[in-house]
Amino acid sequence: MSGRGFSYFAETPGLPLSLKCMFNGRALYRFGRNEVAVDDGGYLILNNRQPYSIEIASPTRVETFVLWFPDGWAEEVLRSFSQTPEILLANSPDESGTSALFFERYTTHDRNVSPKVHALRAAFKGQGPIQDGWLEEKLRSLLASMLSSQRSLKHRVADLPAVRASTREELWRRLNRARDYLHAHLSAPIALSDVAAAACLSPFHLLRLFQAAFGQTPHQYLNDCRLERAKFLLGKTRIPVTAICLECGFSSLGSFSALFHKRCGMSPRAWRNSHGVVAEENSNIREVYLMGAT
């Protein structure tokens, strides 16, 4: 499923397992206590029947690309990973008992899942028809990559400082909720206590575990997100640099320019001049979208 627009809102009580991608902008997903902004840099997997809402309020025309998986497909692929050939031959292919659950988090594009997603998007946007057999094979292969990435994540979860596996998984979910909160609210002033509250952890506990899990502090991660957003807006729109500075959560143009030059080797204006390619559809910006939800 694909769509394009500047503004959109919808909510659902739950749909089949899906993988969400955005191009030329970002969308905000809310589910449970989580807020996840999906943009050009990554994707989001939502489990089967997970209630959620999606909101788009963007200065660029955002393209959504969503892949849905029929009920039972992920479990069937998971069984082929986790069970021996003898058990697979002895049991019915439709036999239940294995549940495929994914960590619901913003995941940056990778070499395992993302190429398969991009290939499906290219086929969807192509001129020729998509054959059902080809599509089924590609979706099952994509599920295998998604499950493989999930297994790799469990090794990172195992490194968290907790005795019980269930406690480590809950910590991992809370830390990712904190990271997603930062990514979703980069335009607002955020204190460590705000992030800790979103993760239901104390500020120091969050700080210590966040750095251990992701290799940087929450503030460092937030600055990275703000710079990436600034580069996107500089390259894709004609929004003034000062407005971009404020939209990306920086307190002053001076601090924004200094950090941007330190990280990118040039000023924001110079970066726009050398990297900016503004599509005609992004050239007429209505200010209401700039300060809307991100």
CATH 2.40.160 assigned to 2-157: no
Tell me the C-alpha distance between 107 and 94, whole Å: 30
Tell me if 199 sits within 8 A of 177, measured CB to CB.
yes
Task: Read off the tokens for 116.
Answer: 């398969």
DSSP string, 225-267: HHHHHHHHHHHH----HHHHHHHTT-S-HHHHHHHHHHHHSS-
C-beta of residue 109 within 8 angstroms of C-beta of residue 41: yes
> What angle do the packed helices 132-157 and 165-184 form, to 10 degrees?
110
The answer to whether 211 touches 217, Cβ cutoff 8 Å, is yes
pLDDT one-digit tens code per residue, 95-131:
555 788 999 999 999 999 999 999 999 999 988 889 9
Q: What would the pLDDT profile of 196-250 be if each residue is shown by its tens digit? A: 999 999 999 999 999 999 999 999 999 999 999 999 999 999 999 999 999 999 9
- pLDDT score at 15: 93
- The superfamily CATH assigns to domain 221-290 is Homeodomain-like (1.10.10.60)
pTM of the model: 0.88
Hey, CA dihedral for 133, 139, 142, 146, is it positive or negative?
A: negative
- Condensed to tens digits (0 to 9), the pLDDT of residues 7-29 reads 999 999 989 999 999 999 999 99
